[in-house]
Amino acid sequence: MPSRTHDVAPGASAPVARTTDPRARRITLVVNPAAGGGRGRRTAAEAASRLTARGMRVRTVETLDAEHAAQEARRAFDRGDVAVAVGGDGMLRILAGEAVLRDDAVVGLLPAGRGNDFARFLGLPTDQEAATETLACGVEALLDTGVARGSDGVDRTFLSIVSIGFDAEANRIANAAPPALGGLVYVVGAVGALAGLRPVPLRIVADGAERASTVLLLAVANSGAYGGGMHMAPHASLGDGVLDVVAVPHRGRPDRCGWRDRLRILRFLPRVFRGSHVGTRYVELSTARTIRVEADGPLVAYADGDPIGVLPLTISTRPASLRLLVPAAGGLRSGVDRPSGVAA
């Protein structure tokens, strides 16, 4: 599909410097047209209309792929615009990866994906009218991001959770499922991953402390939710400068998973949606600022819905590295640290 870029707001076309004054805010909507079965395109059109009616200058770009989205984010920041992700967590991750490289770049979000876990966990509005209002009148908050570095030396930004093992396999299967299934792709992913469950031997170095561990899954969390409402790390904060690490250890035979392992996961999964799994004997919890994870062979890790690298990976936190538009007052989820400088 060809790229389409158009300005929809009135006024002069010359770029202006970004300002923190919402009345002079310029917006570039970076749209995944396939997000949510086409919801991304509709969401962008409605938001552009509302923002233009307020006299704001709005530019809309439909992306071709991840690299094109990153390129358009860079162009938006060069213009002094707020780059707004119109799509799911994956689109927001791409824009955030460009924004953290600049001191003055600001990102916004119009949730239009299948799960919208990052928005829901933080407490950002998912209602389109309220989310558009945040773009128009919201304030900039500084949030932590995560970064995963592979053996290629490339840093890849993530916002929510790096997953290894069962949940990474479920993510892979869900991504391959027909988009028409909507939120059911997560169920398909979980069932498929359960059928192919296997132990994952890992070598982990967390803040300099090394240990070997065989797990069914390992999650390294900046934000606490993923997979369409699974609260894997419900106590994670986007303002504490640390990563929350959740592991489900494998306690059976080292070479395979039996029915007890599958039963453990079946008991574990419903609790994850409530966040009550953290108090069970199935789960090990820890925190770290930097964690290196190695495996005996190539193993793909996922984050924010997409592959983020092949082990070994070094996963670190970038404290207060992302400027994100949030509601000017109230609205952020109870139990999540409110970013410094934003009124409660």
Distance CA 282, CA 278 (A): 8
pLDDT score of 2: 36
Q: How many DSSP H helices and E strands does the chain contain?
A: 8, 16
Catalytic (active site) residue 65? no
Q: What are the residue ranges in the chain where pLDDT is below 50?
A: 1-19, 334-344
Kindly write down the DSSP assignment for every residue of 187-224, as one continuous string: HHHHHHHHHT---EEEEEEETTEEEEEEEEEEEEESSS
pLDDT score of 1: 37
DSSP code, position 230: B
pTM across the whole model: 0.85
Beta pairing partners, 26: 57
Q: Which of 7, 155, 240, 306 is catalytic?
A: 306
3-class SS shares of the chain: helix, strand, coil, % to 5: 30, 30, 35
How far is C-alpha 134 from the chain's CA centre? 19
51, 136 Cβ separation under 8 angstroms: yes
Long-range contacts of 68-77 (CB under 8 A, 24+ apart): 68/3, 69/30, 69/32, 69/94, 69/95, 70/94, 70/95, 70/97, 70/98, 72/5, 72/28, 72/30, 73/28, 73/30, 73/98, 73/99, 74/98, 75/28, 76/28, 76/30, 77/102, 77/104, 77/105
Distance CA 278, CA 285 (A): 7
Q: Which amino acid is at 38?
A: G
18, 82 Cβ separation under 8 angstroms: yes
pLDDT score of 335: 41
Distance CA 45, CA 4 (A): 13
pLDDT score of 256: 83
Distance CA 302, CA 305 (A): 6
Q: Which amino acid is at 330?
A: G
pLDDT score of 330: 67
Distance CA 324, CA 89 (A): 14
